[in-house]
Amino acid sequence: MTGAAVAAPCILPPSVFGLDGTVAPNSRFVMGCIGVGGQGTRGMAGGIWAPAGGFIGRPEIQVVGVCDVNAHHRENARHIVNQRYGNQDCAVYGDFRELLARKDIDVLLIATGERWHPLLSIAAAKAGKDAYCEKPTSVTIAEAQALRAAVRRYGMVYQVGTQQRSSYAFRFACELARNGYIGDLRTAVVGVGGPPGHQTCSLPAQPVPDWLDYDMWLGPCPWRPYNAAYVGAWMAYRDFSGGEMTNWGAHHFDIAQWGLGTDHSGPVEIIPPDGKEFKVLTYRYANGAEVVRDPDRLQREAGVNNGVMFIGTTGKVAVWRYELRTWPEHLSRVKIKPDEIHLHVADNHHTDFLNSVRARSQPGANIEIASRSITVCHLGNIAYQLGRPLRWNPDKEEFVNDPEANRMRFRQMRSPWEI
């Protein structure tokens, strides 16, 4: 009986090899999710910005753990994951270090507030894990540079969640601009909101709810007594965010850089408006082109106030979520020729990340691009705050002969956090 059992053929189901259209278990990416509130849930499980169903809607992904400082978010995410897989296996964590210590996790979805993005991404790199991290990339220029250095050092695959880089409309608008279909590119008009509405945190202290680890929520930010408005609307406060300049700016200034062909560079001068109001802001580039933050102009000329418009000597192209308009109209039907500039193609942002993990390559919205794009946003905030023109050296990534502005590239992190 023993010999017969040994000699019997071993028949394995096709699913083991992925031959039935499923993904073989050893081809799956094991994922952990850090920050599973609104945007984190959408990225994990699908939603308005995740038309393909989010990461757990993909057969090649297995989510095994979720982490959040908010107990309600943790439990909601655990329920979603377990319901998706039909089991009770999803682990929950309040401290990201416990999740990162798991050897079985390959990739991370990071969707906390931006105050945590560089620290978590650097920790992921050191732990040997690749990461899809929501934008904005950082709260300061120096943090973005530190993250870029870590990605390079550890060979991490990093994708920032600027999904417009995976949109046909935005790519086509940039290809029209880059290939001269609107003539010589003179101006890119960007429609986004301004800096944070509150430069200081001065709200009265409130009791910390028992479902929130507020000290961990603050992370590297300056200590402030708990107030529900900080947690519920952190983008309005400079301690935690760069405001709409870095929120929507991470999308639209990024597209302006793409269309100008300055993904690995930046402006040489930043000119804020006269006075203290956050009105028109102008960036000048070495080739003479300008990027102008002017939502009112975008509204007048394109009919929207949130998007990007490229203006050349013979035409214009405006693009927003996810539509495009050209002047003259026939430019919208142009076919980019094989010998012209073709930009990075990705039908879906999540897929672009996973394909890059497989190939051990950097995706279309990688840290080299993300660090430069978020720097443009930070340069604008610094110019608004100082209220005077600034000169910038994009090669050295520092202000020219301006110690005051150069100090604003950094900020002290609250102990024990550092980069």
The angle that helices 71-85 and 38-45 make with each other, rounded to 10 degrees, is: 10
Q: Quote the pTM value.
A: 0.92
Would you state the pLDDT for residue 26? Answer: 60
Cα-Cα-Cα-Cα torsion 188, 191, 196, 197, nearest 10 degrees, comes to: 130
Structural domain spans, the chain: 24-164, 203-233
Encode pLDDT of 82-107 as tens digits: 999 999 999 999 999 999 999 999 99
% residues pLDDT > 90 (the chain): 86
Give the residue among 294, 326, 316 at the shortest CA–CA distance from 307: 294
Average pLDDT taken over every residue of the chain: 92
For residue 262, pLDDT over 90 is answered with yes
Mean pLDDT of 18-36: 73
Distance CA 119, CA 112 (A): 11
Q: What is the CA radius of gyration of the chain?
A: 23
Tell me which fold the domain 24-164 belongs to.
Rossmann fold (3.40.50)
Question: Each residue of 281-324: pLDDT tens digit?
Answer: 999 999 999 999 999 999 999 999 999 999 999 999 999 998 99
User: Are the C-beta atoms of 218 and 226 separated by less than 8 Å?
Assistant: no
Q: Say what the pLDDT of residue 322 is.
A: 84
Question: What is the token pair recorded at 211?
Answer: 């479902």
Instruction: Report residue 389's pLDDT band, with 50, 70 and 90 as the boundaries.
Output: very high
> For 329-365, how does the pLDDT look when each residue is reduced to its tens digit (9 = 90+)?
999 999 999 999 999 999 899 999 999 999 999 999 9
